[in-house]
Structure 1
Amino acid sequence: MSGPGAPGTGPASLTRPAGNLLTDNPALYEARFPDPGRLAGRWAEHCLRRHGAGPRVLDMGCGTGRDAAHLHEAGRAVTGADLSEAMLGYARAHHPGPCYVRADLHGFDFGPAAFDAVVCLDSSLLYCHTNAQLDGFLASCRRALAPGGLLVAEMRNGAYFLGRTDLLGTPAVHTFTWQGTGHRSTTTLSVDRTAQLLRRRRLWTSDDGSPPVEQHSAWRLLFPLELLRFLTAHGFEALELHDGPGPRTEPAWQDGSAPGASTDGDRLHLVARRLNSTH
C-alpha cells in the first residue's frame, strides 16, 4: 500500500514494507510496469479466442487487475485472484468489473469445473519455487477447469539462462515518475543453481530523500521440457509452447501475430488444454 488509507493514496515516498514493496504498493507497480495498451490482456484474450475458450476465466495472480479488467471488457466472466490484499483492494477500486478474491497460487479451490480457462501472466507461475508448489498449482488448475478448459501462461524461460550471462550480474536501472516524484529501481539478477531459482535484488531510491529500500525475490528457473512433463502428469496437453512473440518480447506481440516454433528466448508462452479423461 502506498501510504495510510486506501490503496493508491498517500505520499509518494518509499517506505520500508513489511512484505513486498511492489505488491504492497499497487500504484507503484503500475508506474514501474506500465501497460497502457493492455498488451498482456490482449495477448491472453487472443489465445483464449483462438482456441475457443468458454467465457468463465480465472486470472490467477491478477495483481492490480489490469488484465482481468481487459478480459472482462472483452465479454468474459472473470474472477481475479491474488494473495495480496493491497493488490485486491486496488483492483476493486481502479479496475472494476471482475470478481476479486484472495487465493494462494500454490493451492486454491473454487469448486470443480468452475472455469473454462485459467490465465497466469507475468511470470506469476514461477513463484512456484518447489516441485510441490508447482504440483499444487497445476492440480488446482485441473480441478478448477471444465474438461477441455485452457491454461494460458506467460513467464521467463529458464532455458534462456543455459550458457547465457547477458542478463546476470549487471544492474539494470529504470527511472520513472510516481505521484510527481522521480524514482529509480536498480535490479540485479543472479542464478541459484542449487535451488533452480533466478534471484532478484532490487534497490529502490527516490528524489525526495527517502532512504533506499532493498527487496529480494525469486522466480523458478523452469525449463520447457520440464514444464511439459509436469503438464502431462497433471492431465494437460500442451497446444502451444514457444518463446514469442508475446507481451514482453522484443519485438512485442501484435494483433494477428502467429505463435513461434522455438523455446530459446527469454520468455516462454504456454497454452495447454485440460484433457477430458479422469486423472
Structure 2
Amino acid sequence: MTSGNLLTDHPELYEARFPDAERLAARWAEDCLRRHGAGPRVLDMGCGTGRDAADLHAAGRTVTGVDLSETMLAHARTHHPGPRYARADLHAFDLGRDAFDAVVCLDSSLLYCHTNDQLDGFLASCRHALAPGGLLVAEMRNGAYFLGRTDLLDRPAVDEFTWRGTAYRSRTTLAVDRTDQLLRRTRVWTTDDEAPPVEQHSAWRLLFPHELRHFLTGHGFEPLELHDGPGPRTEPPWQEDRLPGRTTDGDRLHLVARLPHTH
C-alpha cells in the first residue's frame, strides 16, 4: 500500500469525483458577497482546482486564487483561466500591496488551521490582506455536530466512480481526536487496474461556534452570519432570512464576518 493524496495529486480526477455541475459553492459565495455589498476584489484561499475562483471571475469579480499545491495551481491556470493564481500558505500569507474586498474560504479549507497559532496566523493574514470593511466568507464542517453524535463515525463510508474506463473505490473512516480537537480521516483507494491501494490521511480542526466567534472578534472581525444553513451543500435560492431561527448544530457551518471600515 502506498501513501498519498490521490485526488489532490490528480486534479482532473478530483473534478471527476466531485463534478459540482451546479457550482453551488461559488454561487453561494457570490450570493453572500452581493448581499453584504462586497467590492469586486476577491481572494479565494485554498482555491484547489480553480473552479470556484473561475466562477467568481465570471460573475464579474477580480479574483486571485491561492493554494499550497503547485499541481492544483497548474491545473487551475490551464483549465480555469481568468483569475490570477498564486502559491501561498493558508497559515500565514502576504500577497504584497494588493488589497481585497473579500476573502473566500470554501470546503473546510479554513479547518486546515489545526492549531490556535495557525488560526491566528490565518486571521491576521486576512486582516492584513483586506481593505477596510472587507468580508471573510467561509463554509466548513461544524465541530458542534460531533457533540454527542456518532452517525458519521460509526461505520466506514464506501464509494465508487468510474473515470476514463477505470473504476475507483474508496473506503473512508472518520475519527475524532479529542486531544488535538481534530476530525481525522483515513481513506483507502483501490482501482480495478491492479494498481496498489493508496492510503490517504487528512484532518480538520473541530471549531465550535462560540470558539470561532472568539477568534474572529479577537482579530477585529464582526461576525455577521454564523449558522448551519442554508449553504453550498443545499440547493439555491439562499435569499431567505439567515439569522432568526438559524441554528449551529448542523454538519456544516457558514460564516460571514466583516472588518470595521477603519482598521
Normalised to the residue count of structure 2, the TM-score between the two structures is 0.95
1:22 aligned to 2:1? no
Decide whether the 8 Å contact of 2:231 with 2:238 is kept in 1.
no
Give CA-to-partner distance per residue, 1:73-112, whole Å, 9 cap, x none: 0000000000000000000111111001101000001235
1:36 aligned to 2:18? no
Q: What residue is the counterpart of 1:255 in the other structure?
A: 237
Q: What residue is the counterpart of 2:53 in the other structure?
A: 68
Decide whether the 8 Å contact of 1:184 with 1:205 is kept in 2.
yes
- Residue of 178, 187, 190 corresponding to 1:205: 190
Q: Which amino acid aligns with 2:95?
A: F
Decide whether the 8 Å contact of 2:230 with 2:238 is kept in 1.
no
How far apart in 2 are the matches of 1:63 and 1:193?
Answer: 28
Q: What residue is the counterpart of 2:155 in the other structure?
A: 170
Q: Which amino acid aligns with 2:82?
A: G
Decide whether the 8 Å contact of 1:169 with 1:190 is kept in 2.
no
Decide whether the 8 Å contact of 2:100 with 2:129 is kept in 1.
yes
Q: Which amino acid aligns with 1:229?
A: H
Give CA-to-partner distance per residue, 1:49-70, whole Å, 9 cap, x none: 1100000000000000000000
Q: Which amino acid aligns with 2:237?
A: D
Q: What displacement does 1:228 show?
A: 0.3
Over the aligned positions, Cα root-mean-square deviation in angstroms equals 1.4
Give CA-to-partner distance per residue, 1:188-229, whole Å, 9 cap, x none: 100000000000000101111111111111000000000000
For residues 212-227 of structure 1, what are the structure 2 equivalents within 5 Å? 212-227=197-212
How far apart in 2 are the matches of 1:220 and 1:40?
Answer: 20
Give CA-to-partner distance per residue, 1:167-191, whole Å, 9 cap, x none: 0041111111122211112111000
Point out the more displaced range, 24-33 or 137-146. Answer: 24-33
Q: What displacement does 1:147 show?
A: 0.6
How far apart in 1 are the matches of 2:123 and 2:97?
Answer: 14
How far apart in 1 are the matches of 2:51 and 2:164?
Answer: 19
For residue 22 of structure 1, give the secondary structure of its aligned residue in structure 2: coil
Q: What residue is the counterpart of 2:216 in the other structure?
A: 231
For residue 168 of structure 2, give the secondary structure of its aligned residue in structure 1: strand
Normalised to the residue count of structure 1, the TM-score between the two structures is 0.90
For residue 21 of structure 1, give the secondary structure of its aligned residue in structure 2: coil
Q: Which amino acid aligns with 2:156?
A: P
Q: Which amino acid aligns with 1:142?
A: R
Give CA-to-partner distance per residue, 1:223-250, whole Å, 9 cap, x none: 00000000000000000001011112xx
For residues 133-144 of structure 1, what are the structure 2 equivalents within 5 Å? 133-144=118-129
For residue 187 of structure 2, give the secondary structure of its aligned residue in structure 1: strand
- Residue of 71, 78, 91 corresponding to 1:86: 71
How far apart in 2 are the matches of 1:134 and 1:92?
Answer: 28
Q: What displacement does 1:113 show?
A: 6.1
Moved over 6 A (4+): none
For residue 8 of structure 2, give the secondary structure of its aligned residue in structure 1: helix
Q: What displacement does 1:20 show?
A: 2.8
Q: Which amino acid aligns with 2:225?
A: E
Give CA-to-partner distance per residue, 1:105-144, whole Å, 9 cap, x none: 0000123561000000000000000000000000000000
How far apart in 1 are the matches of 2:213 and 2:107?
Answer: 19
Higher normalized contact order (CA 8 Å, seq sep 6+, divided by chain length): 2
How far apart in 1 are the matches of 2:103 and 2:257?
Answer: 10
- Residue of 49, 64, 67 corresponding to 2:34: 49
Q: Which amino acid aligns with 1:74?
A: A
For residues 115-194 of structure 1, what are the structure 2 equivalents within 5 Å? 115-194=100-179
Gaps of 5+ in 1: 1-14
